Structure 1
Amino acid sequence: MDQAVLDVVAWVRADQGRMLTVRSRGRDLLYLPGGKREPGEDDWTALSREVREELGVELEPGSFRELGVVHAPAHDQPAFASVRMACFTADYDGEFAATGEVDEFLYVGRAERDLLAPASQAALDLAGRSGLVP
Protein backbone atom coordinates (compact mmCIF):
# COMPACT_ATOMS: atom_id res chain seq x y z
CA MET A 1 0.00 0.00 0.00
CA ASP A 2 1.36 3.43 -0.98
CA GLN A 3 1.67 5.95 1.81
CA ALA A 4 0.03 9.32 1.40
CA VAL A 5 1.70 12.62 0.61
CA LEU A 6 1.50 15.23 3.38
CA ASP A 7 0.35 18.46 1.68
CA VAL A 8 1.30 21.58 3.66
CA VAL A 9 1.92 25.32 3.33
CA ALA A 10 4.99 27.11 4.68
CA TRP A 11 6.16 30.65 5.27
CA VAL A 12 9.63 31.43 3.97
CA ARG A 13 10.92 34.45 5.88
CA ALA A 14 14.52 35.52 5.34
CA ASP A 15 16.41 38.21 7.23
CA GLN A 16 20.06 39.11 6.71
CA GLY A 17 20.57 36.03 4.55
CA ARG A 18 19.13 33.57 7.07
CA MET A 19 15.79 31.71 7.02
CA LEU A 20 13.29 31.67 9.90
CA THR A 21 12.58 28.21 11.34
CA VAL A 22 10.67 26.78 14.28
CA ARG A 23 11.12 23.79 16.55
CA SER A 24 7.85 22.15 17.50
CA ARG A 25 7.49 20.48 20.87
CA GLY A 26 8.99 17.00 20.80
CA ARG A 27 10.67 17.38 17.39
CA ASP A 28 14.37 16.90 16.82
CA LEU A 29 14.68 18.95 13.61
CA LEU A 30 13.66 22.45 12.57
CA TYR A 31 10.68 23.19 10.32
CA LEU A 32 9.31 26.24 8.57
CA PRO A 33 6.34 28.04 10.11
CA GLY A 34 3.16 26.66 8.56
CA GLY A 35 1.29 23.40 8.42
CA LYS A 36 -1.77 21.58 7.12
CA ARG A 37 -4.83 23.26 5.67
CA GLU A 38 -8.08 22.78 7.56
CA PRO A 39 -11.14 21.77 5.49
CA GLY A 40 -12.17 24.61 3.18
CA GLU A 41 -9.05 26.72 3.74
CA ASP A 42 -7.13 28.21 0.85
CA ASP A 43 -3.35 28.63 1.05
CA TRP A 44 -3.49 32.21 2.37
CA THR A 45 -6.02 31.40 5.10
CA ALA A 46 -4.14 28.29 6.24
CA LEU A 47 -0.75 29.96 6.27
CA SER A 48 -2.00 33.06 8.06
CA ARG A 49 -3.68 30.93 10.73
CA GLU A 50 -0.66 28.66 11.22
CA VAL A 51 1.81 31.56 11.49
CA ARG A 52 -0.48 33.35 13.95
CA GLU A 53 -0.78 30.15 16.04
CA GLU A 54 2.96 29.39 15.97
CA LEU A 55 4.59 32.83 16.13
CA GLY A 56 1.90 35.29 17.19
CA VAL A 57 2.29 37.60 14.17
CA GLU A 58 -0.11 38.61 11.41
CA LEU A 59 0.88 38.16 7.77
CA GLU A 60 0.11 41.08 5.46
CA PRO A 61 -2.24 39.95 2.66
CA GLY A 62 -0.99 42.45 0.06
CA SER A 63 2.56 41.08 0.28
CA PHE A 64 1.61 37.37 -0.02
CA ARG A 65 3.26 35.59 -2.95
CA GLU A 66 4.15 32.04 -3.90
CA LEU A 67 7.83 31.20 -3.89
CA GLY A 68 7.45 27.63 -5.18
CA VAL A 69 6.64 24.06 -4.21
CA VAL A 70 9.14 21.55 -2.84
CA HIS A 71 8.90 17.79 -2.42
CA ALA A 72 10.91 15.78 0.11
CA PRO A 73 10.79 12.65 2.24
CA ALA A 74 8.54 13.05 5.29
CA HIS A 75 10.32 13.36 8.63
CA ASP A 76 8.73 12.23 11.89
CA GLN A 77 5.40 11.56 10.10
CA PRO A 78 4.89 7.76 10.06
CA ALA A 79 1.63 7.92 8.07
CA PHE A 80 3.29 9.80 5.18
CA ALA A 81 6.07 8.84 2.79
CA SER A 82 6.69 12.34 1.48
CA VAL A 83 5.84 16.01 1.89
CA ARG A 84 4.58 18.46 -0.70
CA MET A 85 5.22 21.91 0.71
CA ALA A 86 3.90 25.06 -1.00
CA CYS A 87 6.21 27.89 0.06
CA PHE A 88 5.11 31.51 0.30
CA THR A 89 6.64 34.81 1.33
CA ALA A 90 4.80 37.64 3.04
CA ASP A 91 5.56 40.63 5.22
CA TYR A 92 4.23 40.59 8.76
CA ASP A 93 3.07 42.77 11.63
CA GLY A 94 3.92 42.09 15.26
CA GLU A 95 6.75 40.59 17.26
CA PHE A 96 7.67 36.92 17.15
CA ALA A 97 6.80 34.79 20.16
CA ALA A 98 6.96 30.99 20.28
CA THR A 99 3.34 29.98 20.92
CA GLY A 100 1.13 26.92 20.63
CA GLU A 101 3.16 23.82 19.83
CA VAL A 102 6.31 25.83 19.01
CA ASP A 103 9.08 25.77 21.62
CA GLU A 104 11.50 28.11 19.82
CA PHE A 105 12.16 30.02 16.63
CA LEU A 106 15.51 30.83 15.10
CA TYR A 107 17.12 31.97 11.88
CA VAL A 108 19.43 29.52 10.13
CA GLY A 109 21.80 29.79 7.19
CA ARG A 110 23.28 27.24 4.85
CA ALA A 111 25.87 26.22 7.47
CA GLU A 112 23.05 24.90 9.71
CA ARG A 113 21.39 22.86 6.94
CA ASP A 114 21.73 19.61 8.93
CA LEU A 115 19.42 21.01 11.64
CA LEU A 116 16.50 21.13 9.16
CA ALA A 117 13.90 18.50 8.28
CA PRO A 118 14.19 17.35 4.64
CA ALA A 119 11.38 19.58 3.31
CA SER A 120 12.88 22.56 5.13
CA GLN A 121 16.24 21.78 3.52
CA ALA A 122 14.51 21.85 0.13
CA ALA A 123 12.89 25.18 1.08
CA LEU A 124 16.32 26.55 2.04
CA ASP A 125 17.54 25.61 -1.45
CA LEU A 126 14.47 27.29 -2.96
CA ALA A 127 15.16 30.43 -0.90
CA GLY A 128 18.74 30.35 -2.19
CA ARG A 129 17.63 30.09 -5.83
CA SER A 130 15.25 32.99 -5.19
CA GLY A 131 18.03 35.17 -3.79
CA LEU A 132 16.66 35.25 -0.23
CA VAL A 133 19.46 33.19 1.35
CA PRO A 134 22.95 33.43 -0.20
Structure 2
Amino acid sequence: MESFHVLAPSYALCTSHRRTGQESCITASCGGCRKLPGRFSVARARPCPIHSDPSATKTAARKQPVVTSSHSGTVTTRTIRIAAAVIRDEGGRLLLVRKRGTKAFMQAGGKIEPGELPPAALARELREELGIVVDPGAASHLGVFSAPAANEPDARVEAELFELSITGEPIPAAEIEEMIWLNPALASGMDLAPLTADIVLPRYGRQP
Protein backbone atom coordinates (compact mmCIF):
# COMPACT_ATOMS: atom_id res chain seq x y z
CA MET A 1 0.00 0.00 0.00
CA GLU A 2 1.57 3.31 -1.09
CA SER A 3 2.39 5.83 1.62
CA PHE A 4 3.98 9.26 1.79
CA HIS A 5 5.07 11.89 4.31
CA VAL A 6 2.79 14.81 5.12
CA LEU A 7 2.71 17.64 7.61
CA ALA A 8 -0.37 16.52 9.49
CA PRO A 9 -2.31 17.81 12.50
CA SER A 10 -1.81 15.94 15.74
CA TYR A 11 -4.86 14.03 16.89
CA ALA A 12 -6.17 12.32 19.98
CA LEU A 13 -7.25 9.26 18.02
CA CYS A 14 -10.48 7.33 18.35
CA THR A 15 -10.44 3.63 19.26
CA SER A 16 -10.90 2.50 15.64
CA HIS A 17 -7.93 4.51 14.35
CA ARG A 18 -5.68 3.46 17.23
CA ARG A 19 -6.28 -0.18 16.26
CA THR A 20 -5.14 0.49 12.69
CA GLY A 21 -1.89 2.18 13.70
CA GLN A 22 -2.88 5.22 11.68
CA GLU A 23 -1.22 8.41 12.96
CA SER A 24 -3.98 10.59 11.59
CA CYS A 25 -6.82 10.30 9.13
CA ILE A 26 -6.17 12.15 5.86
CA THR A 27 -8.98 10.54 3.85
CA ALA A 28 -11.92 12.00 5.75
CA SER A 29 -12.62 13.59 9.07
CA CYS A 30 -13.46 11.16 11.84
CA GLY A 31 -16.08 12.08 14.39
CA GLY A 32 -14.18 10.17 17.08
CA CYS A 33 -10.72 11.69 16.53
CA ARG A 34 -10.10 14.94 18.36
CA LYS A 35 -7.74 17.43 16.69
CA LEU A 36 -5.18 19.00 19.02
CA PRO A 37 -5.21 22.77 18.22
CA GLY A 38 -1.95 24.24 16.94
CA ARG A 39 -0.05 20.94 16.95
CA PHE A 40 1.34 19.42 13.76
CA SER A 41 3.75 16.58 13.08
CA VAL A 42 5.39 14.88 10.10
CA ALA A 43 3.44 11.68 9.58
CA ARG A 44 3.73 8.75 7.21
CA ALA A 45 0.27 8.78 5.70
CA ARG A 46 -1.46 6.01 3.81
CA PRO A 47 -5.05 5.42 2.68
CA CYS A 48 -7.17 5.29 5.78
CA PRO A 49 -8.27 1.70 6.54
CA ILE A 50 -11.40 3.05 8.20
CA HIS A 51 -12.64 5.54 5.61
CA SER A 52 -11.33 3.79 2.47
CA ASP A 53 -13.61 0.82 3.23
CA PRO A 54 -16.98 1.61 1.57
CA SER A 55 -18.98 -0.08 4.32
CA ALA A 56 -17.02 1.78 7.01
CA THR A 57 -17.44 5.06 5.16
CA LYS A 58 -21.18 4.53 5.02
CA THR A 59 -21.22 3.91 8.78
CA ALA A 60 -19.03 6.94 9.43
CA ALA A 61 -21.29 9.13 7.30
CA ARG A 62 -24.26 8.28 9.49
CA LYS A 63 -22.30 9.47 12.51
CA GLN A 64 -21.13 12.73 10.96
CA PRO A 65 -23.90 15.32 10.73
CA VAL A 66 -23.92 17.58 7.71
CA VAL A 67 -24.38 20.70 9.83
CA THR A 68 -23.70 21.31 13.50
CA SER A 69 -25.42 23.99 15.54
CA SER A 70 -23.10 26.65 16.96
CA HIS A 71 -25.35 26.93 20.01
CA SER A 72 -23.11 26.90 23.08
CA GLY A 73 -23.98 25.16 26.31
CA THR A 74 -23.23 22.23 28.57
CA VAL A 75 -20.74 19.62 27.36
CA THR A 76 -22.76 16.69 26.06
CA THR A 77 -22.12 13.03 26.72
CA ARG A 78 -24.58 11.22 24.44
CA THR A 79 -26.34 11.54 21.11
CA ILE A 80 -30.04 10.97 20.42
CA ARG A 81 -31.05 10.12 16.85
CA ILE A 82 -34.35 11.69 15.84
CA ALA A 83 -36.48 12.26 12.76
CA ALA A 84 -37.93 15.77 12.54
CA ALA A 85 -40.33 17.54 10.19
CA VAL A 86 -40.31 20.90 8.45
CA ILE A 87 -44.01 21.52 7.77
CA ARG A 88 -45.41 24.82 6.46
CA ASP A 89 -48.92 26.03 5.85
CA GLU A 90 -49.97 27.96 2.75
CA GLY A 91 -48.82 31.21 4.35
CA GLY A 92 -45.32 29.91 5.01
CA ARG A 93 -45.76 29.48 8.76
CA LEU A 94 -43.84 26.63 10.41
CA LEU A 95 -45.52 23.94 12.48
CA LEU A 96 -43.89 23.68 15.93
CA VAL A 97 -44.81 21.69 19.02
CA ARG A 98 -44.11 21.86 22.74
CA LYS A 99 -43.96 18.74 24.87
CA ARG A 100 -45.83 18.47 28.14
CA GLY A 101 -43.85 19.89 31.07
CA THR A 102 -41.32 21.73 28.87
CA LYS A 103 -40.92 25.30 27.60
CA ALA A 104 -39.21 25.14 24.20
CA PHE A 105 -41.06 24.81 20.91
CA MET A 106 -39.50 22.45 18.39
CA GLN A 107 -40.01 20.53 15.18
CA ALA A 108 -42.56 17.74 15.26
CA GLY A 109 -40.98 14.29 15.28
CA GLY A 110 -39.14 12.08 17.71
CA LYS A 111 -36.63 9.36 18.44
CA ILE A 112 -35.69 6.75 15.85
CA GLU A 113 -36.12 3.26 17.27
CA PRO A 114 -33.34 0.65 16.75
CA GLY A 115 -33.64 -0.83 13.26
CA GLU A 116 -36.22 1.76 12.19
CA LEU A 117 -35.74 3.80 9.02
CA PRO A 118 -35.89 7.60 9.58
CA PRO A 119 -38.89 8.23 7.24
CA ALA A 120 -40.84 5.46 8.98
CA ALA A 121 -39.93 6.89 12.38
CA LEU A 122 -41.15 10.32 11.30
CA ALA A 123 -44.46 8.94 10.03
CA ARG A 124 -44.97 7.04 13.29
CA GLU A 125 -44.20 10.07 15.47
CA LEU A 126 -46.48 12.39 13.48
CA ARG A 127 -49.32 9.90 13.73
CA GLU A 128 -48.85 9.42 17.49
CA GLU A 129 -48.27 13.08 18.40
CA LEU A 130 -50.50 14.99 15.98
CA GLY A 131 -52.85 12.48 14.37
CA ILE A 132 -51.23 13.11 10.98
CA VAL A 133 -51.07 10.26 8.48
CA VAL A 134 -48.25 10.75 5.97
CA ASP A 135 -46.58 8.64 3.30
CA PRO A 136 -42.94 8.15 4.37
CA GLY A 137 -41.92 8.04 0.72
CA ALA A 138 -43.35 11.51 0.11
CA ALA A 139 -41.08 13.19 2.66
CA SER A 140 -38.15 15.10 1.16
CA HIS A 141 -34.89 14.49 3.02
CA LEU A 142 -33.09 17.77 3.82
CA GLY A 143 -30.04 16.31 5.54
CA VAL A 144 -28.63 15.31 8.90
CA PHE A 145 -28.16 18.06 11.49
CA SER A 146 -26.73 18.13 15.01
CA ALA A 147 -27.73 20.46 17.85
CA PRO A 148 -27.98 20.42 21.65
CA ALA A 149 -31.10 18.63 22.89
CA ALA A 150 -33.71 21.09 24.13
CA ASN A 151 -34.91 19.11 27.14
CA GLU A 152 -31.91 16.91 28.02
CA PRO A 153 -28.90 19.04 29.01
CA ASP A 154 -26.37 16.21 28.74
CA ALA A 155 -27.28 15.26 25.16
CA ARG A 156 -27.26 16.32 21.52
CA VAL A 157 -29.80 15.40 18.90
CA GLU A 158 -28.69 14.12 15.52
CA ALA A 159 -31.70 14.93 13.41
CA GLU A 160 -32.73 13.42 10.11
CA LEU A 161 -34.68 16.42 8.82
CA PHE A 162 -37.53 16.03 6.32
CA GLU A 163 -39.80 18.50 4.56
CA LEU A 164 -43.36 17.45 3.82
CA SER A 165 -46.88 18.71 3.23
CA ILE A 166 -49.94 17.66 5.20
CA THR A 167 -53.68 17.84 4.75
CA GLY A 168 -56.11 18.59 7.55
CA GLU A 169 -55.43 20.26 10.88
CA PRO A 170 -53.05 18.48 13.29
CA ILE A 171 -54.40 17.74 16.77
CA PRO A 172 -51.93 17.58 19.70
CA ALA A 173 -51.91 14.18 21.38
CA ALA A 174 -49.68 11.89 23.46
CA GLU A 175 -46.86 14.01 25.00
CA ILE A 176 -47.61 17.14 22.96
CA GLU A 177 -49.15 19.89 25.10
CA GLU A 178 -49.22 22.71 22.56
CA MET A 179 -48.92 23.21 18.80
CA ILE A 180 -48.43 26.49 16.94
CA TRP A 181 -48.00 27.80 13.41
CA LEU A 182 -45.06 30.20 13.68
CA ASN A 183 -44.48 33.15 11.38
CA PRO A 184 -40.65 33.17 11.07
CA ALA A 185 -40.69 36.98 11.26
CA LEU A 186 -42.13 36.75 14.78
CA ALA A 187 -39.69 34.14 16.15
CA SER A 188 -37.45 36.60 18.00
CA GLY A 189 -37.72 36.21 21.76
CA MET A 190 -39.51 32.86 21.61
CA ASP A 191 -38.21 29.87 23.55
CA LEU A 192 -37.11 27.55 20.74
CA ALA A 193 -35.13 24.32 20.61
CA PRO A 194 -31.56 24.83 19.31
CA LEU A 195 -32.32 22.71 16.23
CA THR A 196 -35.21 25.02 15.37
CA ALA A 197 -33.51 28.30 16.27
CA ASP A 198 -30.05 27.62 14.82
CA ILE A 199 -30.77 25.43 11.80
CA VAL A 200 -34.41 25.23 10.71
CA LEU A 201 -35.34 28.92 10.89
CA PRO A 202 -32.17 30.28 9.23
CA ARG A 203 -32.25 27.67 6.44
CA TYR A 204 -35.90 26.82 5.91
CA GLY A 205 -37.93 29.52 7.66
CA ARG A 206 -39.18 31.33 4.60
CA GLN A 207 -41.38 34.21 5.68
CA PRO A 208 -45.01 34.38 4.51
TM range (shorter): 0.7 to 0.9
Deviation string for 1:21-56 (max 9, x for gaps)? 001101101011101111211011100000001100
Q: TM-score, normalised by structure 1?
A: 0.85
Please name the residue that 1:115 is paired with. Answer: 191
> Is the contact made by 2:120 and 2:136 (CA closer than 8 Å) also made in structure 1?
no
Give the greater-gyration-radius structure (CA): 2
Shift, 1:125, TM fit:
1.9
Letter in 2 for 1:92: I
Please name the residue that 2:143 is paired with. Answer: 68
Match of 2:157 among 83, 97, 101: 83
Shift, 1:2, TM fit:
6.0
How many residues are paired up?
A: 129
Q: Alpha carbons of 1:61 and 1:6: their partners in 2 closer, same or farther (altered >3 Å)?
A: closer
Higher strand share: 1
Letter in 1 for 2:195: A
**43-52 vs 108-117, greater mean Cα deviation:** 108-117
Match of 1:29 among 90, 104, 107: 104
Shift, 1:62, TM fit:
4.3
What root-mean-square deviation, in Å, do the aligned CA atoms of Structure 1 and Structure 2 show? 1.9
Match of 1:4 among 74, 78, 88: 78
Counterpart secondary structure, 1:92: coil
Question: Which one scores higher on RCO, CA 8 angstroms, separation ≥ 6?
Answer: 1
Counterpart secondary structure, 1:53: helix
Cα distance in 2 for residues equivalent to 1:5 and 1:97: 29
> Is the contact made by 2:145 and 2:158 (CA closer than 8 Å) also made in structure 1?
yes
> Is the contact made by 2:76 and 2:153 (CA closer than 8 Å) also made in structure 1?
no
Q: Does 1:13 align with 2:87?
A: yes
Shift, 1:69, TM fit:
2.6
Counterpart secondary structure, 1:39: coil
Gaps of 5+ in 1: none
Q: Alpha carbons of 1:2 and 1:23: their partners in 2 closer, same or farther (altered >3 Å)?
A: closer
**6-15 vs 63-72, greater mean Cα deviation:** 63-72
Counterpart secondary structure, 2:180: strand
Counterpart secondary structure, 1:76: coil
Percentage of pairs with the same residue = 36
Gaps of 5+ in 2: 1-74
Q: Alpha carbons of 1:107 and 1:95: their partners in 2 closer, same or farther (altered >3 Å)?
A: closer
Q: Alpha carbons of 1:75 and 1:61: their partners in 2 closer, same or farther (altered >3 Å)?
A: closer
